[in-house]
Amino acid sequence: MDSKLQLLTQIAQGVAAHFGSQCEVVIHDLSRENMESSIVFIENGQVSNRKIGDGPSEIVLETLKKDPDLLKDRLSYLTRTEDGRILKSSTMYIRGTDHTVDYILALNYDITGLLTVENAVKSLISTGEAAGDHNKEPKKITITSMTC
């Protein structure tokens, strides 16, 4: 294992441990002859149902057809799995000394459950006021004690 892949693996393990089982971290080795088996490391593969030896997503394959000098990291975008889960994804292109893309470090965080929680919280905190009114200072009310 070359030193760059070793470092990426260390980082990937740390990120996966930090964010937990909903965070898939994938390393693709683009120096392989067969792009369809570019995954050389994966943590929490159950997020996308991929494993070592699988290939990159269609999005990544399409992007790699572009001029390598024009490739830019794509951070914090949404994707959807075949079974309908929503992922917050990031794709980082790791370049070699000759500026070619040697590796891809990809993060896929399953936010499906978080979106459900977000919707539940929104309904709990909603006051029914107009959409633009939520930034206004709450009205002050005085509560007096009452005795029976």
Distance from the first to the final alpha carbon of the chain: 79
State how far the Cα of 111 lies from the Cα of 20, in Å rounded to an integer. Answer: 12
* 22 pLDDT more than 60: yes
Judge whether 136 lies within some domain. Answer: no
Phi and psi at residue 11, to the nearest 5°: -65, -45
Residue 60, pLDDT score: 79
Judge whether 139 lies within some domain. Answer: no
Judge whether 63 lies within some domain. Answer: yes
Judge whether 122 lies within some domain. Answer: no
Mean pLDDT along residues 65-94: 92
Confidence of residue 91 (pLDDT cuts 50, 70, 90): very high
CATH of the domain at 65: 3.30.450.20
Q: What percent of the chain has pLDDT over 70?
A: 87
Distance of CA 29 to the CA centre of its chain: 19
Q: Which domain holds residue 16?
A: 3-116
Residue 95, pLDDT score: 93
* Residues whose CB is less than 8 angstroms from the CB of residue 94 and which lie 6 or more positions away in sequence, other chains included: 4, 8, 101, 102, 103, 104, 105
State how far the Cα of 19 lies from the Cα of 2, in Å rounded to an integer. Answer: 26
Judge whether 104 lies within some domain. Answer: yes
Judge whether 105 lies within some domain. Answer: yes
Number of domains in the chain: 1
Structure tokens at 67: 């001029």
